[in-house]
Every structure is written in structure tokens, then in C-alpha cells.
């Protein structure tokens, strides 16, 4: 069985959607993969309890315990390498990763971002979309590269921006779509990898 590891920092709602889909769509039987672990940089991440309840291994690596970003990333990389992951999924992991980390997991590191990239990379995406007068917003699943929020796009979901929207209401509408988009994008990635020459991940 091949391993997927999910990184979170907060509520873990996207992680929960991915875990649920992995069970309902029988990823273990179809692709020979399992969600092996959930790792957070915050001990108070609500998502850790959700993962534990599903019987998934959890770990906390507190970034504040390391003197530099590179030191934290090296420790995180070493922990993840223990699982030999075919895919590392960033699901609300609020850390900018170093170039060495991204390079190490190149081709098997994906993220979801709450905008229609390449528009509005970085933070405060929903307020920026409203302030700019966008009629549509959404979410993007993309491969992670050294350039923040600029890796190859794997999938996108679009939602309307309504006249009465606040950043909070728009965020909630986008998040509903994220919970559908991210598991499907991962499943599509697994399907492509599984059907590649050799027929395995």
C-alpha cells in the first residue's frame, strides 16, 4: 500500500473531505493508496482529532521549535520521508516551504489555493476579489513549485461573487467547492499515475 500524507494547520476541513472521499471511492482497492498520516505545525489544529478518530496517524512538528525555516523544513522532510509518500497534500498548511523542500517532493506535492490562480496569489484572496470588482472567484488545486501559488494548475472551481458578499460569505461559498474539488483533483491525479506505463504509482 502506497502512502499519502496530508499537512494541515487548522480545522482540517479539506483533509476531512479527502479522507471521506478516499473511503467512499475505495482508493485503497482502486489505486493501492491510503491516507497514512496527517501532520500539523500547530498542536491546537482541530483537524488532528478528526484524523485520529479515523484511525490515521497524526504528528505535530511545531515550527516555533526550530531556529530557521530551513531547519523546520528539514525536520518535516525527514518525518515525511519515513512514509515514502507518493503524494504530499497541503490542506490549509499555513507555511511557505523552502526551495529545498519543494524540490525534494517535486511532482508529488500539491496545494489548494482559495482563488482562481494566477489571480490573487498569497493572502486575503476573497477581500481582494471583492475590492477588484470580480464577478467570479473560486479555488485552484495546483502542483507546488518554488514560486508561491504559481505551480501547474490541476483543477479549478468557480463561484459567483454576489453584490452583498463579504470576505466571510465569499470564503464560505468557495470552501464548499474546495471540499468537492480537492478530493476529485487528487483522485484524478491518482488515476493518471495508476494508468501510466507500468500501471502503478
CATH number at residue 82: 3.40.50.170
Query: Consecutive 10-residue runs of the chain (201 residues): their mean pLDDT?
Result: 97 98 98 98 96 97 97 98 98 95 97 97 97 98 93 97 98 98 98 80 65
Instruction: Assess if residue 158 is contained within a domain.
Output: yes
In this prediction, residue 137 carries a pLDDT of: 98
Report the domain count for the chain.
Answer: 1
What is the sign, positive or negative, of the torsion defined by CA atoms of 9, 13, 15, 16? positive
Residue 200 within any structural domain of the chain: no
Q: Is 123 inside a domain boundary?
A: yes
User: Is 121 among the domain residues?
Assistant: yes
On whether residue 67 sits in a domain, the answer given is yes
What does the pLDDT look like over 36-49, one tens digit per residue? 999 999 999 999 99
Q: Which of 33, 12, 9, 8 is nearest to 22 (CA)?
A: 33
pTM of structure: 0.96
Distances (CA, A) of 118 to 61, 142, 150, 185, 199: 30, 10, 7, 18, 33
- The reply to whether 11 falls in a domain is yes
Single out the catalytic residue among 25, 63, 79, 113. 113
Q: Examine residue 201 and state whether it is found in any structural domain, yes or no.
A: no
Task: Quote the pLDDT of residue 197.
Answer: 76
Cα–Cα dist 71/64, whole Å: 10
Q: Is residue 186 part of a domain?
A: yes
What does the alpha-carbon distance between residue 185 and residue 68 come to, in Å, rounded to a whole number? 33
113 is catalytic: yes
Residue range of the domain that includes 94: 2-195
Amino acid at each position: 500500500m502506497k502512502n499519502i500524507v496530508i499537512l494541515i494547520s487548522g480545522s482540517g476541513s479539506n483533509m476531512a473531505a479527502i479522507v471521506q472521499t478516499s473511503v467512499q471511492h475505495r482508493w485503497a482497492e482502486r489505486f493501492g493508496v491510503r491516507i497514512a498520516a496527517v501532520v500539523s505545525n500547530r498542536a491546537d489544529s482541530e483537524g488532528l482529532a478528526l484524523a485520529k478518530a479515523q484511525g490515521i496517524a497524526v504528528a505535530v512538528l511545531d515550527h516555533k521549535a526550530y531556529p530557521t525555516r530551513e531547519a523546520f523544513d528539514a525536520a518535516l522532510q525527514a518525518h515525511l520521508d519515513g512514509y515514502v509518500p507518493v503524494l504530499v497534500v497541503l490542506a490549509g498548511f499555513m507555511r511557505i516551504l523552502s526551495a529545498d523542500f519543494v524540490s525534494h517532493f517535486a511532482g508529488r506535492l500539491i496545494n489548494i489555493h482559495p482563488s482562481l490562480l494566477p489571480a490573487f496569489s498569497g493572502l486575503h484572496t476573497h477581500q481582494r476579489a471583492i475590492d477588484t470588482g470580480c464577478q467570479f472567484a473560486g479555488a485552484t488545486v495546483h502542483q507546488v513549485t518554488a514560486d508561491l501559488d504559481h505551480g501547474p494548475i490541476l483543477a479549478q472551481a468557480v463561484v459567483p461573487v454576489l453584490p452583498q458578499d463579504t470576505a466571510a460569505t465569499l470564503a464560505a461559498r468557495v470552501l464548499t467547492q474546495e471540499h468537492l474539488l480537492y478530493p476529485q483533483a487528487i483522485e484524478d491525479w491518482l488515476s493518471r499515475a495508476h494508468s501510466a506505463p507500468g500501471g502503478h504509482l
